[in-house]
Structures are given as C-alpha cells and as structure tokens.
Amino acid sequence: MEQKSVNKTNSNAYTFIFAIVMVVVVGSILAFAATSLQPTQYENMRQEKMQNILATVGVETERSEAEGLYRQYITEEIVLDSNGDVKEGVKAFDVDLAKEIKRKKEEQNFPLYIADVDGEKFYIIPLRGAGLWNAIFGYIALKDDVNTVKGVVFDHLGETPGLGAEITQVWFQERYADEKVFDESGNLVGISAPKGAPSTSKDDNRVDAISGATITVDGVSEMISERLQHYLAYFKAQSDINVPNN
C-alpha cells in the first residue's frame, strides 16, 4: 500500500498534472496581486515624476506633498511636434518618452514644462537615452535664457551601483547647475563629460566625468544634446526668449 502511494507521486502523469496545477494557481495569485496593487503603484510613480520635475528647479519636496507644489510652481505643460509647434489634445504629463523615442522624429511628441518659481521662469525638458545596461532618463531645467542650466535629475533602470548608478547622486547632478548648453559661437552643443578633461569653468559646455562610468556618462551627454535640439525651433519662435545665435 505504502509503496503504491510513493509510486503515485513519482509517475509522469502525476508530475505533469502537479506542475500544471501549480503554475495555474501561482499565476492567478500573482496576476490578482499585480492588478489590485497597480493603482497605488501608479500613483507612487506619478508623484515621483512630479517630485523629479520640481527638483530640477530647486524645489525639494516629500512625495506626499509633490502634487500640491507641482500645481503651484508648474504653470504650463505643453507638447511640441518636431517643428516646434504646440500640439493640442495631448497631455504633456501623460507622454511616455520610452514609447515616443522609438518612433520617427516627425511623429514624436516633445513634452515641455514651464515653471515659475518666485518670479523666475524655467523650461523643464524630459530626457531619455541609453546607458550602459539599460535606459537612463531624467529632466533638465533651463533658465529663461534657455542657455544656462538650473538643475538636472537623472535616473536609470540598471546601471552598476557605485559606478554608472552614481549619476543619480546629488554631487554629480550639482555639477550641471549653471552650465551652458550653447557654445561661444551660439551652437547648441549640450553638456559633455569627457574622460580625462577636467572642467575648469561653467562656460566650457562640459562637466567632470565619473571614473568607471564612462559609457553611462556619455549616455547622459548624448541624451541631453539629442533631446534639447528638438526644442530649439520652439524657443526660437518665442519672442520673449533670446536664443543665442538667433
């Protein structure tokens, strides 16, 4: 009798059925948990996005208070097309850059946030590019001359902790403050972080790199210059903005 029951759990049919039942049960439990927790998780990500946008213009806040401050400081959210014209019917906050960036340049939406902090106007541009292992993203805030950087926020999906992941650290992001994105002759060049070339001034369009994170930091430079150029047409069309070389 005993022998039989041992054999039963070792038969092929039993093993197959056990595996199938297990997968179905576990799958349904996980699917249920993921769906029921999704709204809370989405809310967290939304608040974090607001927090990041605010951080670029120097407004540090707790996640729970981000929404109120966001409403207070971000005065305009617009979406541009590739010609720099404002697009109607698309909400800037809902634009998913991960999807946009895969489309052709002419079909992309370019979100732009305009902030007013104590009378000063800032233009906040969302960034997305490629790091060493996975996507990197963030925001860059330009002062109203659209040349000087107010602040930046970077984040990543899978860079190496201690190396590439250091781009999320405040000490690295602080290097970008007050840097210029146009060079002396008025060309939009962004901000690079070349290896072994220390940055001596805020006007040289470059910051000090992170050792051991060359590819990630190059990705940061690349995404800044790539993203910014799409906004140039819009900035030039605005009468109140004095774009260099215009």
**Residues in contact with other proteins by the rule CB under 8 A:** 9-10, 14-15, 18-19, 22-23, 26, 29-30, 33-34, 37, 40-41, 44, 48, 63
State which residue, 98 or 197, has the beta carbon closest to other proteins: 98
Residues facing residue 115 across a β-bridge: 74, 122
C-alpha to C-alpha distance for 110 and 127, rounded to whole angstroms: 10
Minimum CB–partner distance for residue 134 and other proteins (Å) = 12
Minimum CB–partner distance for residue 122 and other proteins (Å) = 26
User: Strand order in 110-117's β-sheet?
Assistant: 86-87, 74-80, 110-117, 120-130, 135-142, 149-156
State which residue, 37 or 86, has the beta carbon closest to other proteins: 37
- Which residue is listed with tokens 């759990």? 9
Minimum CB–partner distance for residue 120 and other proteins (Å) = 26
State which residue, 49 or 236, has the beta carbon closest to other proteins: 49
In which element (H, E) is residue 116 found? Answer: strand 110-117
- For β-strands 74-80 and 86-87, DSSP reports them as antiparallel
DSSP 92: G
C-alpha to C-alpha distance for 135 and 144, rounded to whole angstroms: 29
State which residue, 22 or 197, has the beta carbon closest to other proteins: 22
Minimum CB–partner distance for residue 29 and other proteins (Å) = 7
Minimum CB–partner distance for residue 139 and other proteins (Å) = 17
State which residue, 42 or 75, has the beta carbon closest to other proteins: 42
